[in-house]
Amino acid sequence: MGETPADSALIDGFGRSIRYLRISVTDRCDLRCRYCMAEKMTFLPRNRLLALEEIAVIAERFIAFGVRKIRLSGGEPLVRRDVVELAHRLGGHVGRGLDELTMTTNATRLAEHAEALVAAGMRRVNVSLDSRDPALFRHITRHGDVAQVLDGIAAGHRAGLAIKINMVALKGLNEDEIAPMLEWCMAQGHDLTLIETMPLGAIDEDRTDRFLPLTAVFDRLSSRFALTRDTNGTGGPARYWRVDGTATRLGLISPLTANFCDGCNRVRLTTEGRLYSCLGHEDQVDLKHALRTGGVAALDDAIRLGIAGKPARHDFRIERGAAPAVARHMSVTGG
């Protein structure tokens, strides 16, 4: 992994310690969720992507700088052929500088890879699942088969992966499924995190039509379930509640109705090697260029530069007809 930098702490200009790196290993996905992508997407040419070795080197420099958690994401990370090999390499650092290696996946290919991910050192995955109704799931994803996803979740659970369901709350689409989804998670022993739709990238619909404030959702859920605030987080942006009498936790990620930027401890590496210190800003540093032209020393300098430029907060707004907060899609930056 190389020598630890002399100043190993990554502290931004607002005193926040950066301990969490999210890596988009691919911008490609085998689904086309309406709130995330346009139906006809143009993906990056493969020759512009970071090589597996480059991703590993960059991740290991972040570990040397004190990052304790890494999440692999996309797009859909399991569509990248060498992602399990990457997981094995990074998983070797768990317990030796890294506390946790996790993944966000749509689970369409999780049944095939679950045991290999566990063998690599992964113990937990987030699964994006906005509906368990086959017809609605197919509508939201444009062509997905929910049975394939549910099979993947079951296989992951059998292999020993803790499962957290990520559900984007969509007005007029899946809002009536939120309480049943929580009940299903309670029965299965999974956690559930609800997410407000975010204005990232141009899509074929107006996001204001589907924006569902989680403040209202939580009011409805708390009248039906006994929820107790849980201050033990997982390093991400969610606020958590325990569902009394169960092992399930309910998380809320609400970038529009309850800004969480004050405690932000994470940065994102895109599949072509750009470091974004904020999901809602376009400012970035090209780590691929630094690594290829100047080696590890230049890479370390570029990482420090990116952290120093981290803004105080995002500028997300949902307004009818307004342009997205940033032009890039979530799949480019990584979930």
95: phi > 0 → left, psi -120 to 50 → alpha, else beta; which? left
Check whether 268 is labelled as a binding-site residue. yes
Q: How far apart are CA 200 and CA 179, in angstroms?
A: 27
Residue 198: pLDDT over 90 = no
Q: What is the pLDDT of residues 64-87, one digit of tens each?
A: 999 999 999 999 999 999 999 999
Q: How far apart are CA 135 and CA 275, in angstroms?
A: 38
Q: Which residues lie below 8 Å from residue 118, measured CB to CB, with a gap of 6+?
A: 159, 160, 161
Handedness of CA 324, 329, 330, 332 (dihedral sign): negative
Check whether 278 is labelled as a binding-site residue. yes
Q: What is the pLDDT of residues 25-48, one digit of tens each?
A: 999 999 998 888 778 888 888 889
Check whether 328 is labelled as a binding-site residue. no
Query: Which domains are delineated in the chain?
Result: 20-333 (3.20.20.70)
Max CA separation in the chain (angstroms): 58
Check whether 185 is labelled as a binding-site residue. no
Q: How far apart are CA 230 and CA 136, in angstroms?
A: 32
pTM: 0.88
Check whether 67 is labelled as a binding-site residue. no
C-alpha dihedral over 132, 136, 139, 145, to 10 degrees? 40
Q: How far apart are CA 32 and CA 38, in angstroms?
A: 7
What confidence score (pLDDT) does residue 324 get?
46
Q: What is the pLDDT of residues 297-317, one digit of tens each?
A: 999 999 999 999 898 765 555
What confidence score (pLDDT) does residue 44 get?
87
Check whether 220 is labelled as a binding-site residue. no
Give the residue carrying structure tokens 């803790």: 162
Check whether 104 is labelled as a binding-site residue. yes
